[in-house]
Amino acid sequence: MHKSFFIKTYGCQMNNYDSEKINDLLVLNGFEKTDDIENTDIAILNTCHIRERASEKLYSDLGRLSIYKKNREKLGKKLSIVVMGCVAQAEGEEIINRNNSVDYVVGPQNIQVIPTLLKKKDFGKVHIDFLSEEKFKSLTFSQSNKISRLITVQEGCDKFCSFCVVPYTRGAEFSRPLEDIYAEINDAVEKGCAEVTLLGQNVSSYESSIYEGKEKKVELGNLCNTIAKIPNLKRIRYLTSHPNDINNNLIDEHANNKKMMPFLHLPIQSGSDKILKVMNRKHTKREYIELTKKIKLAVPQMAFSSDFIVGYPGETEEDFENTVSLVNEVKFASSYSFAYSPRPGTPASIQIDFNSEEVKKKRLNYLQKILNIHQNNFNKELLDKEVEVLITDFGKKEDQYVGRTPHLQPVHVFSSKNLIGRILNIKIERLTSFSFHGKILN
């Protein structure tokens, strides 16, 4: 009998990619995937440490899992619990001290050890070294035939924003070699993929060294240019960029390469220069706005999304108003916004001028209201227009399909023919909250 495994993924797309890779590695090693958490031989929790609430989810899930484990033991069965991801990296052995039903703790750069861990006894319980190169070398191509795929090209972060755990949980920046990325994407496209999202904590600082057979600096723009040559790859996206790393190489690629989608997720966090400085973001509000204008000049269809943190220590009402005025000036197509959450080990967490939870909540609600207004205005512009939609999935209703516009807006259509993987011209007829309904034109 094959041993079964269950994976739960928290956090960002990088974790989704890692979970997919673990899934592939385990299947290749003779394990069998299950969605039944109560009756699995192995439970893998791929965790996120970014905010307190994200981290705490792990411990509430572990509480439940340890009950399942005891229930299984009564029946003479085992349940191995593996905690992987960013909480694993940050807390290491502490996780086992806090909940002794956990068998293994595996950091994001060690996921390649999981099949061995589960097969061999005494392979060690805690694996949290930074082994990015080994990790990517030991991963296999996915069997997935998804239309839109996430492909990690860069991992780790050297920026050390004062509030953020990522440089500690993912380690130093590491970029995968261009040829490995090309091979993985080429394989994905052969299996039906039409769109890739290149992932990195700082994907815009991607850098490797061999290009067209020669020793030469390769940047994100070159990487996009190279993979665009794969004929059946239709759309290229990337995530997440830092404003300081967006260079002309990348902007030119957007301007000249039709496969580059005109949508840029460009976190700013705050619109106050004082707060940006203490956050160690290393740019001003004006510089950010100028950058968005420069990009729009080169790529007029470009739309932006962003991340915001409200209530950072020392943020005053005036600082917050600067964030609001930035939002009203740039008019983001969509955004993510969060209340500041102090994270252990980060410089911001030892600052004492905290904002109360009440203030954070009030500012977050207000900001989200304004972000929604802009998102709605952006979306409304699409009504009655024709737009190219890549159909990626089946909808919830019969004969319904879902796809995305170049600006990542979801669109639903009906058809009796299978549309998966096709790019269609669709006339947008209706908008319900954040998703569209349309009619196929071609």
Q: Are 21 and 142 in contact (CB under 8 A)?
A: yes
51 interacts with, out of ligand F3S, ligand SAH, ligand SF4, none, CB within 5 to 8 A per kind: ligand SAH
Output the smallest distance, CB 313 to ligand SAH, in A.
11
312 or 320: CB nearest ligand F3S: 312
In DSSP notation, 281-295 reads: --S-HHHHHHHHHHH
Nearest by Cα to 60 from 74, 45, 73, 70: 45
- Per DSSP (E only), the strands in 311-422 are 334-339, 386-394, 400-404, 410-414
Q: Hey, how many other C-beta atoms are within 10 angstroms of the C-beta on 168?
A: 17
Rule CB under 6 A: which of 332-361 touch ligand SAH?
Answer: 338, 340-341, 343
Rule CB under 6 A: which of 259-288 touch ligand SAH?
Answer: 267, 269
5 or 332: CB nearest ligand SAH: 332
Using CB under 6 A as the binding rule, whether residue 87 contacts ligand SAH is answered as no
Nearest by Cα to 40 from 88, 85, 18, 72: 72
Task: Give the binding site for ligand SF4 (CB under 6 A).
Answer: 157, 159-161, 164, 166-167, 201-202, 242
Q: Hey, how many other C-beta atoms are within 10 angstroms of the C-beta on 57?
A: 16
194 interacts with, out of ligand SF4, ligand SAH, ligand F3S, none, CB within 5 to 8 A per kind: none
Per CB under 6 A, the segment of 67-75, 131-139, 158-166, 368-376 that binds ligand SAH is 158-166
Across the chain, which distance is largest between two alpha carbons, in Å?
Answer: 67
262 or 342: CB nearest ligand F3S: 342
90 or 188: CB nearest ligand SF4: 90
142 or 204: CB nearest ligand SAH: 204
For residues 11-34, one letter each, b for 16 or more C-beta atoms within 10 angstroms of the residue's C-beta and e for the rest, the string is bbebbbbbbbbbbbbbbeeebeeb
Question: Which residue number has the CB closest to ligand F3S?
Answer: 11
139 or 166: CB nearest ligand SAH: 166
Site size toward ligand SAH (CB under 6 A) is: 17
Long-range contacts (CB closer than 8 Å, 24 or more residues apart) made by 122-127: 125/93, 125/96, 126/92, 126/93, 126/96
Contacting positions for ligand SAH (CB under 6 A): 50-51, 163-164, 166, 201-202, 240, 242, 267, 269, 307, 309, 338, 340-341, 343
